[in-house]
Every structure is written in structure tokens, then in C-alpha cells.
Structure 1
């Protein structure tokens, strides 16, 4: 005879719940037609598991139910360090009389011999959402726990699998996320008040998790680009824009801020440049009238401020409470921005008006001596064209570049010569200005100083146009 009893399961699944008494039941059937069978149940870990009925008698062709108990409540499942599992050992012995007391049964199974059959070895598995959640928290050891993970997932309902997607996504482990989705997790069910699962994946920073969700038809909400912009993850924005044609970098959140606002507020220049390059509007205002430039200025992000000044025309736009970007920078003590946001304009104006005192005042307050206007003119271009020798001296003494070229390839020396200002031209030459300087396009624009001999006041039409600008 092979065995006396037969279990109704190949594996016992124990649904683990944190800090709770856990139990599960299974049945054993007596295969004998005419004789009762005595049964003894033990486990490979007696300190961890116990039975409500470790010794019992099963009548002929009958079955009995048995309950396995987890002896001590715990905050995490007591998984073995290695596979195999803990197991239940089922021993059986024929009992001709059909009756025996507890002590009789103990003596029966304590005495080794052919009368005791080892009828079954039943593995014990911990299943349920608390087990899965624990394994996710141990993701650095997931290779060791991978076998237990697949078992634990089998004991979860669809709604539980969906809820578990949140910690799995937050972990950044794409394999865990894939396993939960394949087991029945719903990527589009609302499981959080903090946005979609795709937004959570973006915040986790894992592009592989994002790809898994996209491949599983996860929908995108309006916050995904904002989340990526806050992290300066251009790669995530690119894949989101490619995967969702409806996504727009000009999407605004509940307070009217676009991803460009978010990037500006965080000082993410790379993200700013990318969003603008794909059609982002750097001049849009939020519900309070703040442009991205206001956001960058308030936080003191110099490179973001420069970037936005180059691609937008909102320097003097005021918020709903009447503040410019300059005012916000000044209020927050970001003196390094003040030149770019206002004093540079005042510096150019002082140079145009031949106001040496105004130049000194602006420079003392942080104006950029080599700042440019919309035509590429620096204050030195303006002062040289106007012939303001004192202004030119002030600018040179503060580090003005003598050979800087404007958008048309003209240097301050060109402007002085074309306007006929001999003393200014000679002063520039004395400070190293060259007669032949390449423009930004590589075109050489020579300056002929000999023309002063015969043409004391020639003015090039380009200079006239810039002066009127």
C-alpha cells in the first residue's frame, strides 16, 4: 500500500495579515475501506506553526478538516531564507480498534517502525497583499524572494493587485510592476488622490516603469509633464510626448501653470529649452499673472532667467498684484538678477543719452556691462555711436568688450567711425579695438580709419536704424 490518507491540496496557502493571527484549513481523507487511520501532523518549523489537532483518528472512507496556525503575530511574513518552503509532514498509521486516547496516539507515532506511513509532504506558502507589499519593500533582495512573490500574488484579488501597483511603481522596479499587471492589476483604476499611476511612475524616475505602463495602455493625465519638468527629466517628457499625441507642453495645472513654469521655478534650463523647442509658450501667465520669468526670478535662478529673457518678451509684465520679475528678484535678495531684469535696460538707456553718471549708478547696482539689446548692441556700441567719450571711458573701465559684434557684425569701433567720432575711435583703438573683426557669421567688416581725413562725419545707415530702434 502506498499511503493511508490523501490531502485535498498540493500546497497549503496561508493568507498573511500583519499583526494578526493567521490560519488556514485543509482536509485529509482516509483511503481505507474498513479500517480507521490515526494521523499525526508536524511541520519543519514547530516554533512557527502549530495545529489545533496534531493527533486525530479518521474513520474508514471518511475525511477530517485540519487547521494550521501561525503561532505568533508579526509585522512581516516569516519567509524562509531559502526555498524550499516550510512543509507539513503527514504521518499515518492503521488503527484496527478504531479507538485510542491522545497518549496512545503519541506513543504510536513516537515508536518508529513499518507501522508508520509518511503519507504526504505539503508545502506551506504565504499569500496575500501584505506579503506582496513586504516583498516590494525588499526589492533589493527580490532575486532571493522572486519565487515567493509569484506565490503571494496568486492569493490577491484584482482590487488588491491594483492597489499594490502603487508601491511597486514607487519602487521603480519594472519587473514587479509587470508581474502585478499580468496577474490582473488595473493600470487605469484610480488608486490614489495624488494623480494617475503614470504620474507616480514619472515621479519614481524610472523610465522602464513608464514604458511598462504605456505598453499596458495606461492613460496619461495633465500632470505627467509637470512632474517630469519638476525633475528635469527631458527623456521622460520626450517619451510621453511621443507616446501620447494628445499631450501638449502647454498644458496647465489647476493654478494655470505649464511645465515651463515648473521648469523655471526649479531652475531647469535643459527642460526649459526642450519645452520651448517643441512649441512651449514661455510668455503664458498663470492664474496670478505670473510668467515663467517671474517664477525663475523669484527663486533666483540665473541661467533660467537668462534663457527666458532670450526667448520671451515679458521682462516688464506685471503680476495681478503689480510686480515685475525685477521686483520679485529684488524682494528675495537675488541681486545677481537685477541687471538682467532691469538695470541692463537702464544702462543701455544711459549710454544712449550720454549719461555717464547714470552709467555708473547702473553698474554699481549690478548691471551687465556687456549686456545686449534686441539688435545685439552693447552699451559700448551705444556710447561709441553717440560719441560720448566719458561714457565710453566709464564702460571701458568696467570691463566692456571692445571687439564685441552686434547682429549685423559691427563693433563699437565701427559705430564710432561711421558716426565720425574721432576721439572715441582713437580711445577704442588705444584699448585694443581691431580694425578687422569677424562677425558672428564669419564675415570680415574692416574699419577704415583713414576715412577721417576726408570724411569727418560719415554715418552708416545701419547705425541710423539701430539708433531709431
Structure 2
């Protein structure tokens, strides 16, 4: 005979509650038709788990119930690996009855008369156990699914937030499969926003598939955490509902947020997706203002290339340069001030043909192709003023010869309009696209244009 008694289940589930006495009942059945059976019950951790009847007698074909109790209330479930267990041993009892001391002595003598009928796993379950397992990076999947089996729908829903916070895609999926409601507003913060901030794209996809509510700040959250992959997914999935230029409660777009955090790739991505780098928030700040405020040099360089807000003023009349200058003394942001300020000095030097000033500004890091409020570059100003020496220095430092202003005019247009013929032909000799002569009477020279170009040479 393999065993004398049978347990109704292989596990004893105990719903754990913080600071409370926890217990559970289980049942054993005598399989003998004509003889009583003595039973011994022991736990692997008797200081933690106790049983109300460690020794008992079960009549033929009868059942008996037992209570397993957690001895000491606790705020933390006493999880162990492997889990604690109850060992069930039995022996035949011809007399039918015996006092507890006799049964204790009977089981203290090992031998073939004692059967080991079962080992019952003690499973701690419930929302408090699940919450602890969520926080463990090396959680056992089966243990987690077992722990949430005793949770109500509202308890499962409340567990979604810690699961998302820990970035556990598997835990989030298990909770949703068990009945958690991702559309419920259990917290003031959107689960989707939280998932984006945590930075787990898989969790974002799981929540989106479950109908999780989407608020207007999701792109801002993705921009703040430098998650272009999340932005791509959301914009593709919610093409008609989400706008890359959506604004938050302060009027800021995702580009504002990316500029503040210094996430250059996000700025570039948003602009590529049609975002406007020139938007201003409720206080008149552009993304460039935020980059200057936070000292984000790379973001400032990026915005100087893709926006025209260098000279834009906020509601208090301050340009991005002013904001960077205010913070320079305390935070040592020399490079940022140079980016925003030396460009102005370069423009002034180009206007007056101050060659040494042009060289100094370029040496300090000023952008040779920087623009003023009308889109004019230093080369536009030097050409318009006839500063042929400054033009040469600017071209030697990489100035774009055909750079266009906001009206579509190039430096060659500026030189021709101002009547600086030698300078105009010098620009042509350095690759400037030749204009329509009918539009520029100053270039309608008696000599053929190409002949003049071939004969022309410049000596500084």
C-alpha cells in the first residue's frame, strides 16, 4: 500500500494580510475501509507555522479538517525558496483510538509501519504578497500568478501601478489577464504616463492593447525621458489623436521639454515629424529659451540650426542670450553665452568689415552661418556692406556661399543690390549661383559676364 490518507489539495493557500493572524484549513481523508489511521503533521518551519492538531486519528473512510496558522503577525510575508511545506505521515491504528502521547511515541520510531503520504506546499497568496513579488527583480512567475489568484478585481487594478513602476511587463500582463482594469482611474497619474517615464516600451504596448487611457502629456513624458521609440509607437498608433506640437498646461510642446532636458535626438525627431521649434509657451519662452536656461549646449546648437528664435523675446522682453547670461556667473556657462552672444558680435564685425573682429568671433566659437532676426548671415552683411576682406575670411571658415535669408536672398543678391560689382563676381568665382541679369541692373556690364569673370582676379 502506497498511502493511508489522501489530501484534498497539493497546496495549502494562506491569504496573507499585514499585521494580522493568517490561517487556512485543509482536509485529509482516510482511505482504509475497516481501520482507523493515525496521522502526524509537521511543518518545515515550526517556529513560523503551527497546526492545531499535530497528532490525530481518522476513522475508516472519514475525513478530518486541520488549521494551519502563521504564528507571528508580520508586515512582510515570510516567503522562502523553496517554500515551506507540511509533511503528512500516517500509520494504521488497530485499536481505533489512542491518546496524543501514544501517537507521538508511535511516530517517533521510524520503520515500515509509518507511511509518508504527502508533502503539502504552503502558498502565501493575496495582494500583499503580490506587491512584494512585484518589487523583486527575480520573481517566480508561478508564485506571482498564484498570489494574485486570491485578489479581487479592485485589488488587481491597484496592483497595476506598482507593476508598471517596476517595469515588469510580465507582471502587468498577468494582472490584466487575471482581470485588472487598465482603464480605471485608480490614481491621479495616468498609467501610460508612468510606463513612459519608467521607459519600458513593452509595458506601453501592453497597456495600449488593454485600452489604457491616453492623456495629452504622453509625448511630453517620452520627450523628457529621451524615448524616441515610444514617441514613434504612439504617433503611429494614435496618428489622428496625438499631435507632435501638442501643448501641456504651461503651453509647452515636446520640443520645449526635450530642449530643457538636452535631448538633441528628440528635438531632431520632432522637427522631422513636422514639429515647430519656434513655438512659444504661455510665458513667451521658445525651446531655445529652455535650452539656455538649463545650460544645454548641444540642444542650443541644434535649435540655432533648426529654429529662428535666437532674437525672440519672452513676455518680459528677454532673449535666450539674456537668460543664459543671467545664469553664467553662478554656473559658468561660458560656451552657451558664446553661442548665443558671439554670433551677434560676428554680425556686427561683418557689417563694418572688421576682419580681426570676424576672426576673433569665429575663434571663440561663433557659428559662421548664424542668422539674425531676418535670416541674414554674416556673409549677407559683409556682402551688402562691400566688405570683401571679411567675405574672404568667412568663406575660408566654411560660410555657405548660397545661404538664403527669410526672403530667399543670397549674399550675391545682397552684393548686387548694393552695387558691389567686384564683390559680386568674387562670390561667383567661389561658387555662388549666378543670378538673372535682368533682375540686377548693376551686373549688366558692357563686358560679357563670363568674359569679365575670366579676367577678374582678386588681390587682398
Tell me which interval the TM-score lies in, with the shorter structure as reference length.
0.7 to 0.9
Deviation by residue 1:418-447 (Cα, 9 ceiling, x = unmatched)? 94566x799x8xxxx99353769xxxx979
User: Which residue in 1 is equivalent to 2:233?
Assistant: 239
Distance 1:224 1:369 in 2: 35
Give a deviation string over 1:47-95, Cα, whole Å, max 9, x none: 55321221123456664432223455573533224xxx54323234455
TM-aligned CA distance change 1:51 to 1:188, over 3 Å: same
Q: How many residues align?
A: 432
The aligned residue for residue 197 of structure 2 is 203
1:176 aligned counterpart, secondary structure: helix
Match of 2:325 among 330, 334, 354: 330
Q: Retained in 2: the 8 A contact 1:344–1:362?
A: no
Question: Could you tell which deviates more after superposition, 105-114 or 156-165?
Answer: 105-114
Other-structure match for 1:386: 385
Instruction: Say whether the 8 Å CA contact 1:347–1:379 is kept in structure 2.
Output: yes
Three-state SS of the structure 1 residue aligned to 2:204 is: helix
**C-alpha contact (below 8 Å) 1:404/1:412 kept by paired residues:** no
Give the TM-score of the pair, scaled to structure 2: 0.78
Name the residue aligned to 1:25: 25
The verdict on how the C-alpha distance between 1:413 and 1:258 changes in structure 2, with shifts beyond 3 A counting, is closer
Are the counterparts in 2 of residues 344 and 368 from structure 1 also a CA contact under 8 Å?
yes
Structure 1 residues 373 and 439 mapped into 2: Cα distance closer, same or farther (>3 Å)? Answer: farther
Instruction: Tell me if the contact between 2:308 and 2:375 (Cα under 8 Å) persists in the aligned partners.
Output: no
1:25-58 superposed Cα distances (whole Å, 9 cap, x missing partner): 2233456677654332123444553212211234
In 2, the alpha carbon distance for the partners of 1:318 and 1:413 equals: 29
Please, which of 288, 293, 297 is the counterpart of residue 288 of structure 2?
A: 293
Deviations 1:271-310 (A, max 9, x none): 1122223232323322322221211121222332233344
Q: CA deviation at 1:415?
A: 4.3
1:101 to 92, 99, 104: 99
Contact 1:417 1:447 in 2 (8 A): no
User: What is the TM-score when the length of structure 1 is the normalising length?
Assistant: 0.76
TM-align CA RMSD = 4.1
- In the alignment, is residue 321 of structure 1 matched against residue 320 of structure 2? no
Preserved CA contact (<8 Å) 1:343 1:365: no
Which residue does 1:401 correspond to in 2? Answer: 397
The answer for unaligned runs of 5 or more in structure 1 is: 454-469
Deviations 1:352-380 (A, max 9, x none): 3x374995799499682623447876424
Offset of residue 263 of structure 1? 0.7
2:223 maps to which residue?
A: 229
SS at match of 2:122: strand
Deviates more, 1:2-11 or 1:119-128: 2-11
* Residue in 2 that maps onto 1:179: 174
Query: Counterpart in 2 of 1:57?
Result: 57
User: C-alpha distance in 2, partners of 1:152/1:53?
Assistant: 27
Are 2:244 and 2:274, in contact at CA under 8 Å, matched by a contact in 1? yes
SS in structure 1 of the partner of residue 322 of structure 2: helix
Return the alpha-carbon distance in structure 2 between the equivalents of residues 275 and 369 of structure 1.
23
**1:460 aligns to what?**
none
In 2, distance between residues paired with 1:447 and 1:384? Answer: 22
